[in-house]
Amino acid sequence: MTAITVIDEPENPLRRAPLVEGKNDFASVTDIVARVAENKTPKGWYLLFGIAIALLLNLGAMIGYLIFTGVGVWGNNIPVGWGWPIVNFVFWIGIGHAGTLISAILFLFRQKWRTSINRASEAMTIFAVMAAGIFPAIHVGRIWVIYWVFPLPNQMSLWPNFKSPLLWDVFAVSTYFTVSALFWFVGLIPDLATFRDRAARAGRTVAARVYGVFAFGWHGGNRHWIHYEKAYLILAALSTPLVLSVHSIVSFDFAVSLLPGWHTTIFPPYFVAGAIFSGFGMVLTLMIPARKWLGLHELITLNHLDNIAKILLLTGTMVGYAYGMEFFIAWYSGVPYEQFAFINRATGPYWWAYWIMVSCNVISPQFFWFRSLRRNPTVLFIISIFVNIGMWFERFVITVTSLHRDFLPSSWGYFSPTIIDVLTYVGSFGLFFTFFLLFCRFLPILAISEIKGVMPEANPHHGHGDHGGHGGHGSSHKGHSGHGHAH
């Protein structure tokens, strides 16, 4: 393995910074990504996987206990009928938003830097949506009739309530999961073929066979690529409204109610901004260690991290805008219940949760105003953890503080989680990390073919003598302009 160079030069508007650094060509990019799956499994992986599996088993045990005993094992009470399960559901579904944003919206905006993080983010999305789906399912209490959430014709003429956003959630989340999984899988096909061919050449026939099944006989022909590019563009266009719709509908779960603190018109875009914020937080939490341990510095460069940090600053500030609007309008509305709900959030029994939320979500990303902090992986990793914590607390604050003190003081109460609540939530990380670690071990964790597509060599005008090395020199081109730019 050659020494890894980390380039950290000042921004220069005269050229686009290269997206792949170091002395890499197509072959070496394939090598960097493929060796992650081909090398001997590192001991650290077994350690992490063991922990993840233990947590996953714990999740199974908790769900089993819940089903055999009943939802009374949770801290949910009257008035707080929605406790941690809904908080966890919204937390995970929010994390699932970065993948589609990166693969769909950043694709339509021609943000070429997305190529080195889209694969892992999409995988993260799928696993996060799986973790999310568990909570509403087990929250129904009688999980053996969970299929009733679907409008299935039946002799009892029993239909779900189509006017309920909880039902819209069923449709929105299952659509989202399906489209995200399709998108992810379509993107994987060329890289799976690469893995197949490498395995076959190395004599690993079983691996070659398995990769081969999923590679659908891809051999990189012209016709394959034409269809592939078209499918990718169509899936991107289909996914774009989904990025907004899923979390908008999740926000409707709260906002269609009459409850102060839930019922406010900014909820849909505010939830979407929060979801993207939390999703990018989790992307950093996962990719910074992966970049370090798997030696991906030349593909996931400081510029990539810098861009993610900027998105965190933007979306964190948008969330801050929404908090501010809620507070201002609560005061401006003149409705005493609205005013009370927000003062109670900030100063009531759950004041600590509110201020954890504000500090983590609004204050911590403000460090990213400084370029040096945006390009410091340690700082990024620490703040990404704060973002994860803060976004969980945001859902906790919304769910619990509005419920625990409503219009009638005689029905006020307090919510405390039980140990089962805590272990179930911790267990959901087991599910998430089990899948993510398997993904890291066996699948191409970066989109090999897409990364090659943004390298200078992929430019049809490459090597015609009007430039050399990396980066676009927009000014010196006779034909099309520099690299890292759409053609």
Partner 1 sequence: MTATMTAPPIEQVAPHVVTKVRDGDLKGAQMGLLGAGIAMLALSCAFGMFADGDTKKRFFFSYLVGYMGVLGICLAALFFTMLQHITRAGWSVVVRRIAENVAAVLPFMLLLFLPIVVGAEHLFHHWWHPNPADTVLAGKKAWLDSTFFFVRVGIYFAIWLVLAWFFRKQSLLQDQTGDPTINLRLARLAAPGLLLFALSITFAAFDWIMSLDPHWFSTIFGLTYFAGAFMSFLAFTVLFARFLGSKGYLKDAITTEHYHDLGKLLFAFMVFWTYTNFSQYMLIWYANLPEETAFFEHRHHGGWGAIGTLLIFGHFFFPFAFLMSRHVKRHPVGLAFGAIFMLVMHWVDMQFLIVPNFHPTAAAAHAEVPHAEGQSFVGNFTHGLGEWMHGLTIHDFLCFFGMLSFVAGMALLNMRKTNLLPTRDPRLAESLHFVNI
* Residues near partner 1 (CB under 8 A): 10-16, 108, 110, 229, 244, 248, 252, 255-258, 263-269, 313, 317, 321-322, 325-326, 329, 332-335, 369, 472-475, 477, 479-482, 485-487
Give Cβ neighbours of residue 320 (< 8 Å, ≥ 6 apart): 358, 361, 362
Least distance (Å) from partner 1 to the CB of residue 117? 18
CB of 268 to partner 1, least distance (A): 4
Shortest spacing between CB 253 and partner 1, in angstroms: 12
From residue 311, alpha-carbon distances to 147, 163, 284, 416 in Å are 38, 35, 11, 34
**In this structure, which amino acid lies at residue 54?**
A
User: Residue 194 CB, nearest distance to partner 1 (Å)?
Assistant: 23
The CB-based long-range contact list for 34-41 (8 Å cut-off, 24+ gap) reads 34/194, 34/195, 34/198, 34/444, 34/448, 36/294, 36/440, 36/441, 36/445, 37/195, 37/441, 37/442, 37/443, 37/444, 37/445, 38/198, 38/199, 38/202, 41/441
Nearer Cβ to partner 1, position 288 or 319?
Answer: 319
Instruction: Tell the residue number behind the tokens 């409850």, with chain if given.
Output: 259
Would you call 195 helix, strand, or coil by DSSP? helix
Whichever of 28 and 245 has its CB closer to partner 1, that residue is 245
Establish how many alpha carbons lie within 13 A of residue 433's alpha carbon, considering only the half-sphere containing its beta carbon. Answer: 24
Residues in the chain: 487
Least distance in angstroms from the C-beta of 187 to partner 1: 17
What is the distance between the alpha carbons of residues 20 and 484, in angstroms, rounded to a whole number?
10
Taking the complex as a whole, the smallest distance from the CB of residue 412 to partner 1 amounts, in Å, to 22
Tokens of 28: 């070496």
| Nearest CB to partner 1, comparing residues 338 and 421 | 338
Q: CB of 176 within 8 A of CB of 129?
A: yes
Closer Cβ to partner 1, 168 or 415, answer by number = 168
Closest contact distance (angstroms) between CB of 332 and partner 1 is 6
β-partners of residue 472 are 16
The pair of structure tokens assigned to 238 is 């289909």
Q: CB atoms < 10 A from the CB of 474, how many? A: 15
Residue 203: CB atoms within 10 A of its CB come to 8
Rounded distance between C-alpha atoms, residue 73 and residue 19, angstroms: 51
Q: Please, what is the minimum distance in Å from the beta carbon of residue 172 to partner 1? A: 14
Task: Output 204 or 477, the one with its CB closest to partner 1.
Answer: 477
Q: Which is nearer to partner 1, 32 or 313 (CB)?
A: 313
What is the phi/psi pair of residue 51, to 5°?
A: -60, -45
Instruction: Please tell me the distance from the alpha carbon of residue 469 to that of residue 308, in angstroms, as a whole number.
Output: 26
* Pick 216 or 369: Cβ nearer partner 1: 369
Alpha-carbon gap, residue 354 to 346, rounded angstroms: 6
Q: C-beta of 236: minimal distance to partner 1 in Å?
A: 12
